[in-house]
Chain A
Amino acid sequence: MSVSVAEMTEQDQLFEYTVRLGDNCVILGQRLAEWCGKSPVLEEELALMNVGLDLLGQARMLLDYAGKVEGAGRDEDKLAFFRDAQAWRNLLLVEQPNGDFAKTMSRQLFFDCFQFLQYQKLSNSADTKLAEIATKSLKEITYHVRHSSDWVIRLGDGTEESHQRMQKAVDELWGYTPEMFDMDAVDEAMLKSGVGVDLKEIEPAWKKMVEGVLSEATLNFPELTWQVRGSKEGKHTEHLGYLLAEMQFLPRAYPDANW
Chain B
Amino acid sequence: MTNPDTDIAKLEDDFQKKVDAEIRIEPKDWMPEGYRKTLIRQMSQHAHSEIVGMLPEGNWLTRAPSLKRKAVLMAKIQDEGGHGLYLYSATETLGISRDEMYEQLHSGKAKYSSIFNYPTLNWADIGAIGWLVDGAAITNQIALCRCSYGPYARAMVKICKEESFHQRQGYEIMMTMARGTKEQREMAQDALNRWWWPSLMMFGPHDKNSNHSNQNMAWKIKRSSNDELRQRFIDATVPQAEYLGLTIPDDKLAWNEETQSYDWGEIDWDEFKNVVAGNGLCNRERLQARKDAHEGGKWVRDAALAYAQKKRKREALKTAAA
Binding site for B on A (CB under 8 A): 26, 29-30, 33-34, 36-46, 49-50, 52-53, 56-57, 59-60, 63, 76-77, 80-81, 101, 153-155, 157-159, 161-162, 165, 246-247, 249-251, 254, 256-259
Contact = CB atoms under 8 A, between A and B. Distances in A.
B296 interface: yes
Given A46-B85, A259-B176, A57 B71 contact: yes
A34 B81 CA distance: 15
Interface residues of B, number: 46
A205 B203 CA distance: 58
Contacts of B293: 37-40
Given A43-B85, A162-B302, A56 B71 contact: yes
11 contacts: A34-B62, A39-B293, A60-B68, A63-B67, A101-B300, A158-B304, A162-B299, A250-B65, A254-B181, A257-B183, A259-B65
Nearest to A22: B67
A85 B81 CA distance: 33
A30 B62 contact: yes
Interface string B280-310: 0000000001001100111111111111001
Contacts of B96: none
A38 B296 contact: yes
Contact of B65 (A33, A155, A165, A251): A251
B55 to A, nearest CB: 5
B195 to A, nearest CB: 19
B293 to A, nearest CB: 5
Given A40-B300, A159-B303, A258-B180, A80 B67 contact: yes
Interface of B: 51, 54-55, 58, 61-71, 74-75, 77-78, 81-82, 84-85, 88, 123, 176, 180-181, 183-184, 289, 292-293, 296-307, 310
A63 B66 CA distance: 12
A207 B62 CA distance: 32
Contacts of A250: 63-65, 123
A59 B176 CA distance: 23
Given A46-B81, A49-B74, A80-B67, A159 B306 contact: yes
Interface centre among A29, A37, A40, A44 (most CB of B within 10 A): A37
A19 to B, nearest CB: 14
Contacts of B81: 42, 45-46, 49
B104 to A, nearest CB: 16
Contact of A49 (B77, B176, B306, B307): B77
B297 A41 contact: yes
A26 B302 CA distance: 32
Nearest to A32: B74
A54 B147 CA distance: 36
Given A42-B84, A158-B302, A158-B303, A60 B71 contact: yes
Nearest to B305: A158
Nearest to A102: B300
Contact of A50 (B64, B78, B297): B78
A44 B78 CA distance: 11
